[in-house]
Amino acid sequence: MYRQLIERYKQKPLSENALKILKERYFFKKPSGEFVENSWFDVCRRVARVVAAAELINNPRLEKMTAAEKLDFVRQVESDFFDLLASRIFLPNSPTLFNAGIGADYELLYKPLEQMKLEDYQKILDSRNHLHMLSACFVVPVEDSIEGIFNAVKEFALITKAGGGIGSNFSALRPKGSFVAGTHGKASGPVSFMHVFNTAVSIVEQGYRRRGALMGILNIDHPDIMEFIDAKKGNDGERVLKFFNISVGIPMDRLEILRMYENDEEIELKHPKWHHPTKVKVREIFKKMAQNAWETGDPGMVFLGEMNKYYALYPYREIISTNPCGEIGLSAYEACNLGSIDLAKLCDDKGVFDWESFAKVIRTAVRFLDNVIDVNVFPIDKITQAVKESRRLGLGIMGFADMLYKMEIPYNSEQARSLAKNLMAFMALHAHEESSRLGQEKGNFPLFEYSRYPNGFIPFSMDVSDYDDEIREHFNTIAKKYKRNVAVLAIAPTGSISNIADTSSGLEPNFLLAYVRYVNKLSTNEREPLFYVNEVLAKKLPENELLRIRDRLIEEGSLRNIDIDERLKKIFVVAHDIDPLDHLLMQEAFQSYVDNNISKTINVPNSATVDDVLEIYVEALKHKIRGLTVYRDGSLQTQVLTSAKDL
């Protein structure tokens, strides 16, 4: 089954859209602009080869092998990785696709597998340079001193240059107006310094590939919280803090904030350098958050307390911030590399899901992502160290909405949520079993003994799934002894890689069923139209039906107001056909089996009021989720990410 599946999708041609994105940003080019790579398989060969070479660094088993056995082993690993990538059933995050192999001799990167020698793999490893950076997610601490702040600015610049997205929690900075001893002056506060970071990152970019992407967090009990919530107000096109997503941090139990909200209590705002007692009603904070989110899409909320509750290294280490889209909470200087499995490709046209192949894909993907850690080069030594100590991974999914279309299950249904839990529980089980197996084969993550795993800790909340007994059994037995990675799962937005995979993004519903997309070439600024109709819909609708509705579908994006079979309308829902609560419940369903976090946007219609948005913020506190982003259709939002749609 697995082989057939791989072959089927290896042979499937890439869409014009996917090829355009690859050509614009992913194919290796010489400094002259001449393409070194011309096909998706070229990219896959390079990436699979570099990531397989990690076995020479991290696999003690190889030490006991003869040279011939070693070579066979590494080639086999390369071949397994190549198949996975070439079929586009699994893709790593963009930096891995961009940067793997940078610095190596082209001849070695692309020659046929049968001609590879052991020393070729070694040469590839030896030629990695300072831009061989394969991770998407970073967190940098910002200390309360001019030196600390500007040191962090430098770190932001170096990480952006290498292609990573960065988050920081600015709560350590003393509030605006507090006393500065050295100069007898007054501090200008965290928000003012965020502008410095924004400006620095606006100037640094990763060549033709990516611009900066930042997350700024301020905790709900920081004295400058109200100013922070307003920090992106006045977004008017030439946008304020353009490179930042901002989020209010909830470091305490979210239920504590819910209680204060419901009892209309005040929260004490504090900082060690702040000597004026200040209190503000939690309801006032939430009202301001809702008002601004209604206007601009910012701020979101991040439940740092909830993240630490499920963090296997807490309290030895503490999660202080997330990366720009929220799917990974990290401690100081930690980084994380991501990868996503396309669920839609694991489901055939009759709606039958191939669980056996799913298990095999999960296990190979965990090995792949774990290898990425060992071939990664970071621009800052403290990051190298923190990453090696915890070996955090973020394996997730994409194509969920397209899979549901194939199965004819509405996204906004209990059936879809129950399926989400089963899929994610199955994934958690296999991914964690693989991480423990790798622990046994290659060694545990170095801080394992300081973690909660030896006590039988389960790093997610669980709900009800078919795999609960097996999951409990795993964490109560083998995981007490072996674990290669502090955390393994995360659901990313997959903004770019889902386009390369020609599938729906992350766990999100499709945004539109049909559209015209303008791709703007970064190099020349020309805009080109690309026409797109959802592939599953096109298969399920008779051709004449599709032709009949095509123009209206392009205009409206949804089937909602089109004269068509009611059953199809229920199945082929898009983001705006779905109630905000159903969005939230889907986020919770997945989160119950994810150890890191999930990137999810709660879409609300343009007609939603500020009170509607407020209700979602309060409702979110009642659910086992790790954060919230609300976007009201048509509101002004700084789009931090360069999704293909906005290029």
User: Could you tell me which stretch among 15-23, 25-33, 160-168, 285-293 binds ligand GDP (CB under 6 A)?
Assistant: 160-168
- Two structure tokens written together for 525: 């600024």
Nearest by Cα to 511 from 573, 587, 567: 573
What 3-state DSSP class applies to 335? strand
> What part of residues 583-642 is at the interface with ligand GDP (CB under 6 A)?
641-642
Among 492, 512, 537, 604, binds ligand GDP (CB under 6 A): 492
Q: Give the type of residue at 56.
A: L
Say whether residue 325 binds ligand GDP (CB under 6 A). Answer: yes
410 with 570: CB under 8 angstroms? yes
CB 95 to ligand GDP: min, Å:
8
- Nearer residue to ligand 5AD within complex by CB, 445 or 631: 631
Q: Give the type of residue at 291.
A: Q
What 3-state DSSP class applies to 246? strand
Which of ligand TTP, ligand GDP, ligand 5AD, none sits in contact with 585, Cβ below 5 to 8 A by type? Answer: none
Nearest by Cα to 187 from 218, 223, 152: 223
Cα separation values, 59 from 53, 371, 391, 483, 609, Å: 10, 10, 15, 15, 56
Nearest by Cα to 479 from 459, 461, 505: 459
Q: How far apart are CA 397 and CA 408, in angstroms?
A: 19
What 3-state DSSP class applies to 250? coil
Say whether residue 601 binds ligand 5AD (CB under 6 A). Answer: yes
> What part of residues 281-320 is at the interface with ligand GDP (CB under 6 A)?
none
Say whether residue 300 binds ligand 5AD (CB under 6 A). Answer: yes
- Nearer residue to ligand TTP within complex by CB, 185 or 315: 185
Q: At CA 451, angle to CA 623 and CA 252, rounded to 5? A: 35
Q: How far apart are CA 475 and CA 455, in angstroms?
A: 9
Q: How far apart are CA 404 and CA 411, in angstroms?
A: 7
- Nearer residue to ligand 5AD within complex by CB, 89 or 328: 328
User: Could you tell me which stretch among 209-217, 435-443, 540-548, 582-590 binds ligand GDP (CB under 6 A)?
Assistant: 209-217
Which of ligand GDP, ligand 5AD, ligand TTP, none sits in contact with 422, Cβ below 5 to 8 A by type? Answer: none
Tell me the catalytic residues: 323, 325, 327
- Nearer residue to ligand TTP within complex by CB, 188 or 291: 188
User: Could you tell me which stretch among 96-104, 184-192, 438-446, 477-485 binds ligand TTP (CB under 6 A)?
Assistant: 184-192
- Nearer residue to ligand GDP within complex by CB, 479 or 497: 497
Question: Could you report how far apart the first and last alpha carbons of the chain are, in Å?
Answer: 38
Among 206, 219, 247, 357, binds ligand 5AD (CB under 6 A): 247
DSSP string, 516-552: EEEEEPTTT--EEEEEEE-HHHHHHS-HHHHHHHHHH
Q: How far apart are CA 165 and CA 180, in angstroms?
A: 31
Which of ligand 5AD, ligand GDP, ligand TTP, none sits in contact with 300, Cβ below 5 to 8 A by type? Answer: ligand 5AD
- Nearer residue to ligand TTP within complex by CB, 191 or 630: 191
Query: What residues line the site for ligand TTP (CB under 6 A)?
Result: 144-146, 173-174, 180-183, 185, 187-188
Query: What residues line the site for ligand 5AD (CB under 6 A)?
Result: 245-247, 298-300, 325-326, 493, 495, 599-601, 627, 629, 641
Query: What residues line the site for ligand GDP (CB under 6 A)?
Result: 93-94, 136-137, 160, 163-165, 210-213, 323-325, 327, 338, 492-497, 641-642
